[in-house]
Chains A and B, each alone.
Chain A
Amino acid sequence: MLAYLQNIAVLFCINAMLALTLNFIMGYAGIFSLAHAIFFGVGAYATAYIAMYFTDSLLICMSASILISALLSMALALPALRVRGEYFVAASLGLQVIGVTIFSEWKSVTGGLGGMIGIPRPKLFGYVFNDDGMFLLLAFVMLLIVIGIIALLVRGSFGRSLMAIRDSESAAQSYGKHVNAVKTISVAVSAGLAGVAGSLYAFYISFINVESFMLETSILLMAMVIIGGTGTLFGPVVGAALLMSLPAALTYLPFLPPSELGTIQQIIYGLAMVLLMMFRPGGLVGGRSREKSA
């Protein structure tokens, strides 16, 4: 039982990090990306590749994941600078599909559809995180660091520039904000921190394949952000906790056939998305007044 709870807690930390970083661009910068799972995946594959072929040092693997994710996020920043709204959503959808194809077909690096098996646990200052309890501690500390970085950025002048750009790009520009630079940096930060989540995920599960980084994951992350509340600091964490506890809670309902659990869970979160958008578009944490910015 303890192991089961530990497992859920680690996955919660990883998903909360992803939801937080997605909310950073979605809620604060108004960049509605449906390709977040790709940067999660890039982080995971980068760590897996380095840990399996070079070194299992946590610092090296994680920094590489952050760097590569942040670099590749320029592919997302490019359309974000040129188009808005529906066009950007379409561009990010395109990026998501292209990314999945690369993950599943670039066999020499990603292992193709079979994925990568046997990723070692990370080593930090000579200590190997073989114990799941210690790994949970690591994941939790990383989650706190991510929350800290995002809180700092959002509360500071950078966050105010971001929100100004979200609400009116031309107004922000006329006040001398470097719109393009701010947008690019925010996308890079978001993708880089998503890379941290990917890195932890690869170390923890020790097996990755493309299944974890598909459009469904991006949508699940988006649902976490929206159900929790876009543009709020702790909304995404609440959303991640809710959506992660849903499958666990469903297993306790005796009248549901076990084979349909996944399907029923999907129906519930689909319905939740529809109903929330209709009656509470600001999410559970956000107030009703935020609906225009959602």
Chain B
Amino acid sequence: MLFVQLLANGLQTGALYALIAAGFSLIFGMTRIFHAAHGATFTIAGFIFYELFAILHWALPIAAIASAAAAGLFGVLLDRFVYAIIQRHEGSFFTVFVASFGAAIVVQNLISIFFGKGMVTVTTPLSKSIEVMPSLFIAPISGIIILCAIVAFLILQWLLTRTNLGIALRALGENPNLIEVYGLTPRRLSQYVFLIGSILVVPAAILTSATSGLNPSMGNHVMLISIAATIVGGVGSLRGAAVAGMLLGLAENLCLAVIDPQWSEAVTFVILFLFILFRPGGVYGRAIVS
């Protein structure tokens, strides 16, 4: 029974990780920007939702939309006023990464000034575990998380394969120089990528506020998970990010059957490390040699 319980927990964590990683994977795959501030987008979305929904008692949809707007705005502004300027003088990936990291540090500390360094949680009856079978506890919110992940990936899949914008975005990921020949501007497309990628993290942020709670410094963990899932899945492959997110979530929980819980986070990064050493292209990626 322990195994089934861990499997259920793993599915929930995995779906959440897949949702978290989707936005980062999209941004990194399409624009090659190592968007370390993705974790900051997550915290912004989570805390705005918490403030509006739990403190000011706005209706759920309005609070969710406001939090999505804030996340999207943050991503687009960062791209427009920081990354674009750095890329203008051909900054290397590390220059962009450091700037992004700096922005994440600023956001984390601003949030901790407004909300304190402690944990905040949105209380809802949905996150209370129910005994489905003898000694198997599942919260209804796990189902919602998995559903959200499936819906988000279906929408994204549709957007990327069936709309003109999506096709242009995929072309951006393939060859940014070539698409200029077709009359598209990579910079404008990059703005759309950041808008979509940043909004993608919102469901995960809202759901996390109800399950494990939010604190200002959790952006780092979100960033690490996104990077791990993106690379394990294969850069540029959304399907890969989803599979890898699920894989990491399951591994983190299933390993609890044999080792102590404090080591479970390390399992994720051992997997990442092994992938980088032996299969840097990831599950679905092309082989990458140095």
Interfacial residues, chain A to chain B (CB-CB below 8 A) = 32, 78-79, 82-91, 93-95, 97-98, 101-102, 104-105, 169, 215, 219, 222-223, 226, 260, 263-264, 266-267, 269-274, 277-278, 281, 291-294
CB distance from A126 to the nearest CB of B (A): 43
- Per the bound structure, the CA–CA distance linking A105 and B101 in Å amounts to 28
Determine the chain B residues whose CB is within 8 A of the CB of A294 once the complex forms.
91-92, 94-95
User: How many angstroms between the C-alpha atoms of A248 and B159 in the bound complex?
Assistant: 52
A37 to B74, alpha carbons, bound, how many Å? 30
Contact in complex: A83, B280 (CB < 8 Å): yes
Closest to A102 in B: B266
A292 to B105, CA, bound (A): 24
Question: How many angstroms from the CA of A231 to the CA of B262 in the assembled complex?
Answer: 38
Interface size on B, residues (CB 8 A): 48
Smallest beta-carbon distance A112→chain B, Å: 10
Q: Nearest-CB distance from A225 to chain B (Å)?
A: 10
Chain B minimum-CB-distance residue to A78:
B277
| Beta-carbon contact of A89 and B273 below 8 Å | no
Which 8 A/B pairs are nearest by Cβ-Cβ distance? A273-B102, A270-B105, A277-B99, A94-B269, A270-B106, A274-B102, A101-B266, A91-B276
Q: How far apart are the CA atoms of A215 and B92 in the complex, in Å?
A: 22
Chain A residue nearest in CB terms to B85: A278
**B109 within 8 A of partner (CB):** yes
- Cβ-defined contact, A274 with B92, below 8 A: no
Q: How far is the CB of B141 from chain A (nearest CB, A)?
A: 27
Contact B231 A226 (CB under 8 A): no
Residues of chain B in range 139-197 having any CB-CB distance to chain A below 8 Å:
none
CB-CB under 8 A from B34, the residues of chain A are 86, 89
Residue of B nearest to A274 (CB): B102
Residue of B98, B227, B276, B288 contacting most chain A CB atoms (<10 Å): B98
On chain A, the residues within 8 Å of B105 by CB distance are 219, 266-267, 269-270, 273
When C-beta atoms are compared, the residue in chain B nearest to A95 turns out to be B273
Whether A270 lies near B103 (C-beta < 8 A) is: yes
Known A78-B277, A169-B290: A32·B102 in contact at CB below 8 Å: no
Contact between A32 and B94, CB atoms less than 8 A apart: yes
* Distance to closest chain B CB from A267 (angstroms): 5
Residue pair A281, B91 in contact (C-beta under 8 Å): yes
Whether A291 and B112, one on each chain, are in contact in the complex, defined by CB atoms closer than 8 angstroms, is: no
- Kindly report which residue of chain A lies nearest to residue B108, judged by CB atoms: A266
B88 → A minimal CB distance (Å):
9
Contacts A97-B269, A98-B266, A291-B91: A90 and B228 contacting too (C-beta < 8 A)? Answer: yes
B225 to chain A, nearest CB (A): 10
A32 to B90, CA, bound (A): 18
Query: Given A87-B231, A274-B102, A291-B89, A267 and B262 touching (CB < 8 A)?
Result: no
Given contacts A270-B109, A274-B103, A293-B92, 18 further A-B contacts (CB under 8 A): A85-B93, A89-B34, A89-B94, A90-B227, A91-B276, A94-B228, A97-B268, A101-B265, A219-B105, A226-B98, A264-B109, A266-B105, A270-B103, A273-B101, A273-B105, A274-B82, A291-B95, A292-B92
Known: A90-B276, A271-B106. A277 touches B231 (CB 8 A): no
Cα distance, A46 to B269, chains bound together (Å): 24
Query: Which residue of B has the minimal Cβ distance to A230?
Result: B94
How far in angstroms is the closest Cβ of chain B from A268?
9
Chain B interfacial positions (CB closer than 8 Å to A) = 28, 34, 82, 85-86, 89-99, 101-106, 108-110, 112-113, 220, 224, 227-228, 231, 235, 260, 262-263, 265-266, 268-270, 272-273, 276-277, 280, 288, 290
A84 to B101, CA, bound (A): 19
Chain B residue with the shortest CB-CB distance to A88: B276
Cα A86 to Cα B100 in complex, Å, equals 13
Known contacts A83-B280, A93-B227; decide if A270 and B266 are in contact (CB<8 Å).
no
Does the CB pair A79–B276 fall under 8 Å?
A: yes
Alpha-carbon gap, A156 to B280, bound state (A): 34
User: What distance in Å separates the Cβ of A273 from its nearest Cβ neighbour in chain B?
Assistant: 3
Q: Looking at the assembled complex, report how far the CB atom of B265 sits from the nearest CB atom of chain A, in whole angstroms.
A: 6
Cα(A79)–Cα(B272), bound, Å: 11
**A79 CB, min distance to chain B CBs, angstroms:** 5
With both chains docked as a complex, state the minimum distance between the C-beta of A292 and any C-beta of chain B, in angstroms: 7
With a cutoff of 8 Å between Cβ atoms, the chain B residues found around residue A104 in the complex are 262
Residues of B within 8 A of A281 (CB): 86, 89, 91, 95
Please measure, in the bound complex, the distance between the C-alpha atom of A263 and the C-alpha atom of B108, giving whole angstroms: 9
Q: Would A90 and B95 be within 8 Å (CB), given that A101-B262, A272-B102, A274-B82 are in contact?
A: no
Residues on A with C-beta less than 8 A from B266 are 97-98, 101-102
Whether B269 lies near A278 (C-beta < 8 A) is no
**Contact residues in A for B290 (Cβ distance below 8 Å):** 82-84, 169
A277 and B280: CB pair below 8 A? no
A274 touches B106 (CB 8 A): yes
Q: Is the beta-carbon distance between A277 and B91 smaller than 8 angstroms?
A: yes
User: How far in angstroms is the closest Cβ of chain A from B177?
Assistant: 18
List 12 A–B pairs whose Cβ atoms lie within 8 Å, in order of A's numbering. A91-B272, A94-B273, A98-B273, A105-B262, A105-B263, A219-B101, A267-B109, A270-B104, A277-B96, A278-B86, A292-B92, A294-B92
Q: A263 touches which one: B91, B95, B103, B112 (CB < 8 A)?
A: B112
A271 and B102: CB pair below 8 A?
A: yes
